[in-house]
Amino acid sequence: MRRSVRILFTVWLILIATIDDPSAGEIAPGVHWLTVKEDGSNLGWVEFNSFILVIQSTIPGGLPAGWDEIRTTSSKPVRYVFLTQPGGRNGWVDSPFAAEGSAIIGQRQGMEETTSGLDSNPPAGPVWLFDDRLVIEDPSRRVELLHFGHGLTRGDAVAWLPRERILFTGGLCVQGVPRDLEKAYTAHWIDILSELEPLGARIVCPGRGEPGGDELLRAQKEFWINLHAQVQDGLRSRLLLPQIQEGILSRIALPESDRPHFKAAVQHVYQELTGRIMPFSLARLGLREGPSPTRDSPGWTPPRKILAQGLYEGQLPGLQLVAPGVEFVEARSEEEALPHMPDVDAVIGPVTPAMFRAAPHLRWVHIRTVGVEAYLFPELVNSPVVMTNSRGMSAAAIADQVLGFMLMFSKGLADQYEQQLLGKWVHVRRRPPFTLEEKTLLIWGFGGIGREVARRAVGFGMRITAVDPFPGGRPAGVQRIVPPDEMDNLLPQADFVVCCVPLTPATLRYFNAERLALMKPSAYLINISRGEVIDTNALVDALRASRIAGAALDVTDPEPLPEGHPLWSLKNVILTPHMSARAYETDRLAWHLLRENVRRFAAGEPLLNVVDKKAGY
């Protein structure tokens, strides 16, 4: 390998540790620590005025020895037991803490994912869940339970004592080789460790090994950074995984017992970098699996051939890595594609009717855009062929533009920019400026884009209501999610209305003259979905008569907007040429989704972002 492993070796010397026997001690007044044997996990407990908080990490069998150690330090009841990494049942039901009726505390997503069987054998005490932060405090002590995202597991959380500057990390920081990486996202793990560093911990209590200073956090972070660099160098040199593993191991003095764990860590990073593990940037979007051909389907056979259209340079090798048994062929036109269609199992890019009729074995079509209405012809819709799209990949970029539109209106930025081009230092007062705080935002369509709009609007202190036929979970800061039949009752209350819906028969010209008349004269309409969801003539009339304050349109009907159209000249309109999705991050996510679905299709796993072809989205 070209890159030196000197830094990685130095970090390894900091991290490596062998633990033979448990050791306990008081690391600060009322804050205790127990180092467990290497096959277990460490345990901490914190005394408050009238109770004890236990901090533990996946302790086998409830750790009776830990109970004995706690009782040598205090007779106060154990009121709470905090799991830094919820996993399985954690020995909770059989533990002495459960017998005492202590409350188990864990990060919501991690607990919900890993304790689905609790109903059949519930714990003796209550279960507390938190999202990002939970504070346990009395006059003597403050402990903050914090969640920074998915590193080792989905439910990773830490315990931070700000007065004592003590940090309990659980498995996010360990001495020795990190283990049990099946659910890990090491790239995001690095980001979490970066967020922990500014806390300024005086003492770091790791998930395995003895307590130390904040150098443990830095060492764990550098370990992953350098391991990523080493594996990436091996990939650039076109080395296979065993060659990369042995190349790194040959340069590190490592006990024989740790070599399998280290090889597993290298393999995990290799799988992340080559797309065999879904990238965290994609996983965090919470994309849903849909009905699709899997290895459990009757008559399923491994796919042999995929036709790819519109691949960028360098993407084909990435697809070949995740589907090594599949032949990939590229085509730039229907004419080039047709000779390959008789034995094609899947197509990346749109399928024409002629291509479809020539493909008797076709099982899957992936559309690299969000909108699919232009590609749904009757034969395809009525067939068992599965279609997926890039829904959600552009959500962040589009939501940014929506907030940009709202700020342009609220501060009159478009008018001021016009004065800049004229070289004039004047305040334009076409409408008095206002803040977004306390303004009512109505989001029509609460899928990926609508939710990203809401997430940003929460930060501006807006009152948010969403309209969607399939509401799903209600995010923090969103007051209500209501069905479409309540839209007309909500329009008179909205200061901003944002259209985030797909184009379907139900949404075609939904915003007609009657609905525009329901909006306040001070309200603004924003459309980033499809131009046809608004009756353009009715919108022009409403804008000219000042029946609404303004409109921001990234999409229009017709599109592109022809020269001389009235919308071009209206001062209360902001127009952009259907470009809100454009961003480097959008392209990267769309690529990650394509690669992940190709991997799933080849392996016979359920596909992500399956389109309801009859509904049109």
Is the residue at 375 inside a domain? yes
**Euclidean distance between CA atoms 107 and 125, whole angstroms:** 17
The answer to whether residue 374 sits within a structural domain is yes
Residue 582 lies in a domain: no
For residue 47, which of 166, 143, 160 has the smallest C-alpha distance?
143
Q: Which of 177, 212, 247 finishes a domain?
A: 212
At 126 the pLDDT is 76
Residue 231 within a domain: no
Q: Which domain holds residue 475?
A: 395-575
333 and 473 belong to one structural domain: no
pLDDT at 327 over 60: yes
Whether 270 shows a pLDDT value over 80: the answer reads: yes
- What is the number of domains present in the chain? 3
For residue 378, give the CATH number of its domain.
Answer: 3.40.50.720
Among 178, 196, 212, where does a domain finish? Answer: 212
Whether residue 523 sits in one domain with residue 400: yes
Which of 20-34, 60-74, 325-339, 603-617 is predicted least confidently?
A: 60-74
User: Which range among 108-122, 150-164, 355-369, 483-497 shows the weakest confidence by mean pLDDT?
Assistant: 108-122
414 and 386 share a domain? Answer: no
Q: In this structure, is residue 460 part of a structural domain?
A: yes
Distance CA 271, CA 86 (A): 24
Do 384 and 497 lie in one domain? The reply is no
What CATH number is associated with residue 208? 3.60.15.10
| Residue 218 burial by Cβ neighbours in a 10 Å radius (0-12, 13-18, 19+) | middle
pLDDT digits (tens, 9 = 90+) for 380-432: 999 999 999 999 999 999 999 999 999 999 999 998 999 999 999 998 877 88
Rounded to an integer, the average pLDDT of 465-490 is 92
Q: What is the pLDDT of residue 201?
A: 97
Is residue 461, in this structure, part of any structural domain at all?
A: yes
Based on the fold, state whether residues 569 and 519 are members of the same structural domain. Answer: yes
Within this chain, do residues 208 and 72 fall inside the same structural domain, yes or no? yes
Concatenating the DSSP letter of every residue in 275-313 gives: TSS--HHHHTT-PPB-S---TTSTT-----EEEE-SPPT
Average pLDDT estimate for 78-88: 83
Same domain, 468 and 373: no
The residue from 176, 195, 212 where one domain ends is 212
Q: Per-residue pLDDT for 10 more than 50?
A: no
| Residue 161 domain flag | yes
| CB proximity list for 66: less than 8 A, separation 6 or greater | 34, 36, 43, 54, 56, 59
Q: Residues 167-195: what's their mean pLDDT?
A: 94
* Whether residues 46 and 88 fall in one domain: yes
Residues 476, 596: one domain?
no
483 shares its domain with 365: no
| This prediction's pTM | 0.83
The answer to whether residue 327 sits within a structural domain is yes
Point out the residues that are catalytic.
Answer: 530, 559, 578
- Where helices occur in 31-134 by DSSP H, the ranges are 64-73, 96-99, 108-114
- Name the token pair of 376: 């749904």
Q: Is the pLDDT score of 6 beyond 70?
A: no
**What is the CB neighbour count within 10 angstroms for residue 336?**
13
